[in-house]
C-alpha cells in the first residue's frame, strides 16, 4: 500500500517536467498526491483517505498537534482515523524568503519527531515525509554544518526511526527528480 505514495511522487515529477503541474504551496502538492492516490484506487481508497486528519491515539505530547497532512486508514467514529499510512508534506519554493525556508526546515524536524511518537504507538504504520524542493535548497548547507540539509534530516531520522521514509522531488536544472531515503 505504501507504494501508492511513491508512485504518486513519480507521477508528479513527470507532470512537473512536462509543465502540467507547478505547486505554489504545500497544499497544492498535497492535493495532487490525493488526486493520484484516488485516480486508480478509488474503490479501495474513497472512504479511507483523509486530508488534515486526526488519528486515533492517546499520545499526550501530540494532543494539540494531532493533525496529519494525509492519512490513509479506517475512519473511526467520524472524528479519528486508525492510520495505515501517514504523510507530512513540506515544500521549498523560489518564492519563499530565507526565513520561510528556515521555518520549513525546522518543520521537517518537528514532523520527524511527531511521526516518531506515532510509530511508538502504531508500529505497523507506514510513515513519510514528502519534500518538494524547487530550488535545490535541501542540498545546501547551514552555517557551521558539515552535512547538507537533506543529509541532516536523514541523520536525525536515522537516530530515532529508520522506518520513516523521507521521499520527495528535487529540481535540478528545472527538472524534478524523485528521491527516497
Residue 117 main-chain phi, psi, to 5 deg = -65, -40
CATH number of the domain bearing residue 45: 3.40.1350
- What domain range includes position 111? 3-180
Closest CA to 44 of 21, 71, 73, 64: 73
More confident residue, 40 or 71: 71
Contacts of 41 (CB under 8 A, 6+ apart): 4
Residue 78 in grid coordinates: 467520524
* Distance in angstroms (rounded) separating the CA atoms of residues 134 and 91: 8
Per-residue DSSP letter, 164: S
Tens digit of each residue's pLDDT (9 = 90 or more) over 126-176: 999 999 999 999 999 988 889 999 999 999 999 988 889 999 999 999 999
- What does the pLDDT read at residue 144? 85
Kindly give the pairing relationship between strand 68-76 and strand 49-53: antiparallel
The structural domain count of the chain equals 1
* Cβ contact 54:60 at 8 Å: no
- The pTM of the full predicted model, rounded to 2 decimals, is 0.93
Residue 54 in grid coordinates: 486526526
- What does the pLDDT read at residue 65? 65
Closest CA to 105 of 130, 138, 66: 138
Amino acid at each position: 500500500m505504501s507504494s501508492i505514495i511513491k508512485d504518486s511522487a513519480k507521477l508528479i515529477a513527470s507532470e512537473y517536467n512536462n509543465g502540467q503541474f507547478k505547486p505554489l504551496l504545500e497544499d497544492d502538492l498535497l492535493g495532487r498526491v490525493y488526486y493520484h492516490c484516488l485516480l486508480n484506487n478509488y474503490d479501495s481508497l474513497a472512504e479511507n483517505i483523509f486530508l488534515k486528519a486526526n488519528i486515533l491515539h492517546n499520545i499526550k505530547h501530540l494532543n494539540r498537534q494531532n493533525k496529519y497532512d494525509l492519512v490513509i486508514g479506517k475512519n473511526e467514529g467520524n472524528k479519528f482515523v486508525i492510520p495505515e499510512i501517514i504523510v507530512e508534506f513540506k515544500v521549498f519554493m523560489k518564492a519563499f524568503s530565507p526565513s520561510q525556508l528556515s521555518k520549513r526546515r525546522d518543520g521537517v524536524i518537528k514532523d520527524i519527531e511527531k511521526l516518531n511518537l506515532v510509530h511508538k504507538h502504531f508500529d505497523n504504520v507506514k510513515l513519510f515525509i514528502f519534500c518538494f524542493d524547487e530550488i535545490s535548497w535541501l542540498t545546501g548547507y547551514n552555517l557551521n554544518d558539515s552535512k547538507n540539509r537533506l543529509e541532516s534530516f536523514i541523520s536525525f531520522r536515522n537516530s530515532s526511526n529508520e522506518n520513516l521514509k523521507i521521499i520527495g522531488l528535487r529540481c535540478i536544472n528545472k527538472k524534478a527528480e524523485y528521491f527516497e531515503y
